[in-house]
Structure 1
């Protein structure tokens, strides 16, 4: 596999003087709307995971809420902090991580491994992991045949990722982020069983997304009770965030429902679609976008916590 400096993008830290959101300990719902200033909520009880390998699942049963953007931008923000990060594309849709970011496959090899091969025991997770155009970021790709995992339900599907991430040996990654599809089927359950933390993107301007998050929370409770007692909801990401009374109400409801989780407004950005068309992460395409700043700050808190 040949990687050249011209092909590889180095992911740099962001300047501290950019327009980051303030960090607060609770969502402000008492001040008058015109005086209200949104901030990122970090509860006093929140603690980052103190483990050598951290596994995050990005999940919501509703499509179009920004799961893939969330997974990619958090991953790159962690790479910028010196972490070696693996993304797992567990979304069988065509418009997923595997379609967005350039991947370096071995030259001359036509048999490209994917997450489907891992579920059907045709290769290990390490054998399906490829470097991307971003130095320090690796991807386990998915192709449309990943949908067969839901239909054929291979033996042990719900514990497959947990086995490969925790029991099959260390392959030297600091962070793994699993991007789940828009359903609560075997693939999403498998991600939740493997993860330590789940991150739930919710559209800040959609009241219906609260119901979707509630349904996911029931699945999380079931997984926590039966298969993964260490799982917690680490963060609620309020995507496409614009300052409005509805966004404030949704943020308050999320903070009330998940009092020990980060509540992260990620401000809207019109360049996301252009970045996708150009096969670039938003952090590379528009590095000073407020959306990028918000994901960057969330990644820092997830990794290192914050001192109030």
Structure 2
């Protein structure tokens, strides 16, 4: 492994790292907004689909500008509005299953569990079993999904805890040019330790993704410090791309909006390392 003080803006794969077996559940979160959680989730998902895996994204972010706005999905054509369920219903209605709220997207092999701003009701009302809700439903799912990626919101509340309890792995996106993102990651670390101690002892930090990455002394300092803090995690730079906002407005993943982008290549390599053990 590259020692943190010698880190030179490259992918770091510790000798202790082993990609997890499938099916797998991965939470993607950082307490600070704007860290690149949704970009990381979607680009990893498309990279995995391109490798022949079936992937489900769970949008666990109640903000309006979330995955469910960026990624198009399709309700059944014959389903009336009152029967169109989303993630919020999974927490409040006992007869709703994960399959009931999983919908196809335009991309073969990629599915979405959408959410809307009313998902905040889970945070406010905390229905019985909130912490273990996703874990329970994922354990019952028998739908051939290889990887479930949970896109968490910036708040370390019941929804994020629910995601961490359900997950095998945690991926933490950290903006390479922002010291505040490191502060957010530190706050998340305390939540992770609590979840591991009380509800999910097998949860592990699998990777740190350095988003909006450009070569700089600050990025090197942040990356090296995180490599030291998480010695068993893969450190993955994801280079900056000014067209991500355009891709979001076009409702297309960056992988399709600008296929040759270096950011896309970075996430493709990340997918190979994290889920199949090769770049």
**What interval of TM-score do these two structures reach, taking the shorter chain for normalisation?**
over 0.9
Specify the SS of the correspondent of 1:177: strand
The equivalent residue for 2:186 is 214
Correspondence 1:138 to 2:111: yes
* 1:92-241 paired onto structure 2 within 5 Å: 92-109=62-79, 110=81, 111-121=83-93, 122-166=95-139, 168-241=140-213
- Deviation at 1:277? 0.5
- Looking at structure 1, the residues matched to 117 and 263 of structure 2 have their Cα atoms a distance apart, in angstroms, of 29
Asked if residue 267 in structure 1 is aligned to residue 239 in structure 2, the reply is yes
Distance 1:63 1:284 in 2: 25
User: Is contact 1:27–1:41 with CA below 8 Å preserved after alignment?
Assistant: no
Please report how far the alpha carbon of residue 108 of structure 1 lies from its aligned counterpart in structure 2 after TM superposition.
Answer: 3.4
In the other structure, the counterpart of 1:301 is: 273
Residues 56-104 of structure 1: CA distance to partner in whole angstroms, max 9, x if unpaired? Answer: 0001111011100000001111111110000000000011110001111
Please list, as runs of the form range in 1=range in 2, the aligned pairs for 1:57-72 lying within 5 A after superposition: 57-72=27-42
Matched, 1:242 2:214: yes
Q: Would you say how many aligned residue pairs link Structure 1 and Structure 2?
A: 276
Structure 2 residue 19 is the aligned partner of structure 1 residue 48: yes
CA distance in 2, matches of 1:152, 1:281: 33
1:26 matched to 2:5: no
Report which stretch shifted further, 271-280 or 210-219: 210-219
- 1:282 paired with 2:254, answer yes
Instruction: Considering Cα pairs closer than 8 Å and 6+ residues apart, tell me whether 1 or 2 has the greater RCO.
Output: 2
Deviation above 2 Å: which 4+ runs of structure 1? 27-30
For residues 227-262 of structure 1, give each alpha carbon's deviation from its aligned partner in whole angstroms, at most 9, with x where no partner exists. 001100000010000000000000000000000001
CA displacement at 1:297 relative to structure 2: 0.5
Asked if the contact 1:161/1:194 (under 8 Å) is kept, the reply is yes
Q: How far apart, CA to CA, are the structure 1 residues paired with 2:133 and 2:67?
A: 20
The answer on whether the counterparts of 1:46 and 1:305 sit within 8 Å (CA) in structure 2 is: no
User: When the two structures are superposed, what TM-score results if normalisation uses the length of structure 1?
Assistant: 0.87
Q: How big is the shift at 1:306?
A: 4.1
Distance 2:78 2:151 in 1: 28
- C-alpha deviation, 1:38, in angstroms: 2.1
TM-score (norm 2): 0.96
For the pair shown, the structure with the greater C-alpha radius of gyration is 1
Structure 1: distance between partners of 2:69 and 2:226: 31
Deviation at 1:29, TM superposition (A): 3.7
CA contact (8 A) 2:135 2:166 kept: yes
Shift of 1:105: 1.1
